[in-house]
Amino acid sequence: MLKEYELNAEDERIIDELDNLCGVVQNKEVLKNMIIYKKLKNKGEVDFGNFNIIVRDDSSYNLLDGLLKVAGKIFYKYNIIPNDRICYLDKLVNNRNDSPFEKIAVVEDGIIVINDRKLRINYIDNLEAIERIMKIYNDKVFVFEDTNWCEGETDAELGFLASWRMTIEKISLEDKIMYCRNTFDKNNLKYKRQDIKEFSDQPFWKIKNQVMQLIIECKSKDIKMVSNDMLKKKSGKMNSNVSKRKKFRKEKQKTTAKEELDKLIGLNGIKEEVQKILNYVKLNKERGKMPTLHMCFNGNPGTGKTSVARVIGKLFDEENILPGNGEFVEIHGRDLVAKYVGWTAQKVHDTVEKAIGGVLFIDEAYSLVSSTRGSFEDEAIATLIKEMEDHREEICIILAGYTNEMKELIKLNPGFESRIQFTIDFPDYSVNELMQIFMGLCKKEKYKLASNCEEVLLKNFEKARMQEDFGNGRYVRNVFEKTKFEQSTRIANTDSKNINTITSKDIVSALESMNVGHGKKKRLIGF
């Protein structure tokens, strides 16, 4: 296309406003062509046609107004009309005996909208009057809204009077989702995309009213995020029994996040660090300078990284640091990588969306390191870094894994370093702490240990800690599960009545079945 006929940035900006409206986005090309037509006409390249439009309106909602407001800006900019005001002719007609077209004489607005059903007009009988009025007022754009049940009838009668055709389609689910998101975005309210999709599956007139009420509720209560429960309650989709069960569970779970953190075995240094982080975040939020919440957890498996991450989510919820309800999403690093080109970025985005308002815990995040430049892993990392920045006040993303591997990940991707605010190193559990974990599991499931069991376990834990890739708490849980299995076999074979007692024989049998002690030993510096 010749440069003189190309649209400028302002034209594109105005026309792109249709992207935010329901049922009309397909008319962007029509408006662009009308601009080019005006430029051609100014240069004398064309001498036919006019700017009048027939709009086929298939929607049951008043979507025409939004379309014409955007079109009016274009028409006014290019001096097609003296102003961008819109007159709906039926509003000027008092009764059926009035001549609607004679009323145009008192109309100063630039766009005249004529709807045959609202005005009860027979175009054939009024055709001469229409033609006469359009010739007299050629500085106006006449829009014929076609809402006839018989598609094309209006065009057949008035096609020679209007050179342009536009359409308004029925509001789709995608349109309703777009409306909700745009309205919430405009009012600086956060939400989850999957929640909006479920909420939008209802009539549009209901959605408009409910969205308005939700905005009022959030503004009056200083709520920053529209939760799934709020959307369900407003739309009437919340199951009352489910709601009662949630309320009951919440009342039953009276333990605070701080109490849960204190109950974790060992991790004294970690607990102090978490409290310092909480104090820092709370103080900065009060000062109006919300810090980035993203973290890196370094340490061997089973050292409590996941448990601490869960507690952090609850802490941030209780202290109103994050806008959600303590959501916790746990994934493996490889879960962010898709199988096909172009899918990875969307997969990362969707995963982050699920955790908005809470914590996204990415275990073994170092698995995203790839030796191939431009790989799917690189795409996942680049997208994740962007998401960490875009949602820095809405989510806490925690990268976790082995210490050395995690340091390598951060080193190879400097974008992480500038976005990760806190790094916590998780040490291995001591022998006594491992024993406490085992005893805690027994207490939880109401098992009793025979007098000689503790000595067997302590010796085993001391030996197991020397193995490379020792599983810490995870290892203890495996021993416990195997012990229960061996204990049940012994009870069945001996017909013992002490079904809640664990003996040293059960533990020894469990350890033998696990083949403990044949792993590769850790390398000790200086030995």
The tens digit of pLDDT for each residue in 419-449 reads: 899 999 999 899 999 999 999 999 988 999 8
3-class SS of residue 490: helix
Give the pLDDT confidence of 359-409 residue by residue, as tens digits: 999 999 999 888 777 688 888 998 899 888 888 888 899 999 998 999 999
The residues facing 164 across adjacent strands are 53
pLDDT number for residue 392: 81
Rounded average pLDDT over 205-234: 90
pLDDT confidence of 55, banded at 50, 70, 90? very high
pLDDT number for residue 94: 64
Q: What end-to-end distance do the CA atoms of the chain give, in Å? A: 77
pLDDT number for residue 294: 94
pLDDT confidence of 93, banded at 50, 70, 90? confident
Question: In this structure, are residues 390 and 419 in contact, taking their beta carbons and an 8 Å threshold?
Answer: no
Distance CA 369, CA 365 (A): 8
pLDDT number for residue 240: 47
pLDDT number for residue 524: 39
Rounded average pLDDT over 88-97: 72
Distance CA 498, CA 327 (A): 42
pLDDT number for residue 345: 87
pLDDT number for residue 128: 82
239, 234, 182, 174: which is closest to 201 by C-alpha?
A: 174
Q: Which helix (H) or strand (E) holds 396?
A: strand 396-401
pLDDT number for residue 53: 96
- Who wins on pLDDT, 74 or 491? 74
Q: Does the pLDDT value for residue 40 go beyond 50? A: yes
pLDDT confidence of 99, banded at 50, 70, 90? low
pLDDT number for residue 285: 82
pLDDT confidence of 96, banded at 50, 70, 90? low
Strands 141-146 and 111-115: parallel
pLDDT number for residue 17: 93
Give the pLDDT confidence of 492-504 residue by residue, as tens digits: 888 777 888 888 8
Q: Does the pLDDT value for residue 518 go beyond 60? A: no
Percent of the chain with pLDDT over 70: 91
Q: Does the pLDDT value for residue 295 go beyond 70? A: yes
Rounded average pLDDT over 475-490: 91
- Who wins on pLDDT, 127 or 28? 28
Q: Does the pLDDT value for residue 73 go beyond 70? A: yes
| Residue 457 phi, psi (nearest 5) | -65, -45
pLDDT number for residue 29: 95
Question: In this structure, are residues 54 and 167 in contact, taking their beta carbons and an 8 Å threshold?
Answer: no
Residue 252 to residues 238, 242, 248, 249, 256: CA-CA distances in angstroms? 21, 15, 6, 5, 11
Rounded average pLDDT over 96-109: 74
pLDDT number for residue 210: 93
Q: Does the pLDDT value for residue 508 go beyond 80? A: yes
Q: Does the pLDDT value for residue 250 go beyond 60? A: no
Question: In this structure, are residues 408 and 296 in contact, taking their beta carbons and an 8 Å threshold?
Answer: no
DSSP state of 345: H
Question: In this structure, are residues 130 and 99 in contact, taking their beta carbons and an 8 Å threshold?
Answer: no
> 42: which residues sit within 8 A by CB, 6+ positions away?
none
Three-state secondary structure string covering 154-212: HHHHHCCCCCEEEEECCCCHHHHHHHHHHHHHHCCCECCHHHHHHHCCCCHHHHHHHHH
Question: In this structure, are residues 380 and 348 in contact, taking their beta carbons and an 8 Å threshold?
Answer: yes
Q: Does the pLDDT value for residue 141 go beyond 90? A: yes
Q: Does the pLDDT value for residue 520 go beyond 70? A: no
Rounded average pLDDT over 118-138: 80
Work out the angle at residue 155's Cα, subtended by the Cα atoms of residues 149 and 156, and round it to the nearest 5 degrees. Answer: 100
Q: Does the pLDDT value for residue 34 go beyond 90? A: yes
Q: Does the pLDDT value for residue 209 go beyond 70? A: yes
Percent of the chain with pLDDT over 90: 36
Question: In this structure, are residues 110 and 136 in contact, taking their beta carbons and an 8 Å threshold?
Answer: no
Dihedral Cα 7, 11, 13, 15, nearest 10 deg: -100
Q: What average pLDDT does the structure give for the chain?
A: 85
Distance CA 234, CA 229 (A): 8
**Range in 143-157, 237-251, 296-310, 334-348 the model is least confident about:** 237-251
Give the pLDDT confidence of 161-199 residue by residue, as tens digits: 999 999 998 888 888 888 999 999 999 998 888 788 889
Distance CA 369, CA 360 (A): 19
